[in-house]
Amino acid sequence: MAAIYKVSYVVTGEDHPGAILNVDHMPEVGEKVELGRRRFVVVEVFELVPPRGEFHFLHATLAADDE
C-alpha cells in the first residue's frame, strides 16, 4: 500500500480558510498547490506527528502564487 499524506494547508498573508487534504506525495517547498480556483506556492512543510502505518500527518504553509 502506498503512503497517504494528510496535509493541513494554511495560507499566510490573507483571509483564506486553507484546507485539509489527503495527497499521494509529500509536498515540497516551491511546489504549486490549487485550492478551489486559487493557486498557491508551498513555503514551508513539517511533520505534525510521527507517521502511523501508511499515514503521514503534515502541515504546509502556502503563499499566493504571483505568476
* Cα 67 to Cα 57: distance, rounded to the nearest angstrom: 29
pLDDT of res. 66? 78
With contact defined as beta carbons under 8 Å apart, do 56 and 5 qualify?
yes
Query: Is pLDDT at 67 greater than 80 in this prediction?
Result: no
Residue extents of the structural domains in the chain: 4-49
Q: Are 33 and 62 in contact (CB under 8 A)?
A: yes
pTM reported for the whole predicted model: 0.90
Distance CA 28, CA 21 (A): 15
pLDDT tens digits, one per residue of 3-62: 999 999 999 999 999 999 999 999 999 999 999 999 999 999 999 999 999 999 999 999
Cα distances from 32 to residues 2, 36, 44, 48, 62, in angstroms, run: 22, 13, 12, 21, 9
